Amino acid sequence: MKKNLLVAVLFTLVTTVMFGLIYPLVVTGLAQLLFPSKANGQLIQKNGKIVGSSIIGQAFTGPGYFHSRPSAAGTGNGYDPTSSGGSNLGPTNKMLIDRVNGSVKTLQPENPSTPIPVDLATTSGSGLDPDISPAAADFQVPRIARERKMTEADVRQLIAAHTDGRQLGFLGEPRVNVLELNLDLDQSHPVAH
């Protein structure tokens, strides 16, 4: 009995050190060595200051900015990276229907003759999606062009420059990173105050 207890305690200590200390340090070290940007959250800096991450969505509400997909992560306006998650509301849930209808009523006057892309009215599974579809970006072109005093063709050219295609040519959907697009927009055509 005493021998079995000693073996169990030693096994627990060895596996704790191996898998609780050595393994995480090796994996973290390799990640920092091989993929430092990804290991550190793919942070984006502007003028030496961190302004966000290319993999975590954030709210843009100003009329001169492309707006992100709505978020259900956290309370308030969402976009809380410590509270990632969808709303878990089913398609017949009244709260979800009311929220989507509210989004549609807010968006429709912006571009009345164009159907609203689904990703501008619905949240993603994580609630922190950093990307919108090219259609969602294109829907916002008239507002951006008007606010930034640009031609719609110039805005569409910026969108095209920030549109990533399917991964490996067949995985996922084309997408536009909202933070990177808005930073480029600020750089090339600052908002007139």
**Positions of E strands within 28-84:** 43-46, 49-53
Query: What residues contact 173, with CB distance under 8 A and at least 6 apart?
Result: 133, 166
The band of 72, judged by pLDDT with boundaries at 50, 70 and 90, is confident
Collapsed DSSP state (helix, strand, coil) of residue 59: coil
The pTM of this model reads 0.80
Q: State the CB neighbour count (10 A cutoff) for residue 88.
A: 9
Q: 192 versus 156: which is more confidently predicted?
A: 156
The band of 111, judged by pLDDT with boundaries at 50, 70 and 90, is confident
pLDDT of residue 64: 93
Query: What residues contact 122, with CB distance under 8 A and at least 6 apart?
Result: 69, 70, 100, 103
One-letter identity of residue 85: G
Distance CA 157, CA 41 (A): 28
pLDDT digits (tens, 9 = 90+) for 76-99: 677 777 777 777 788 898 988 998
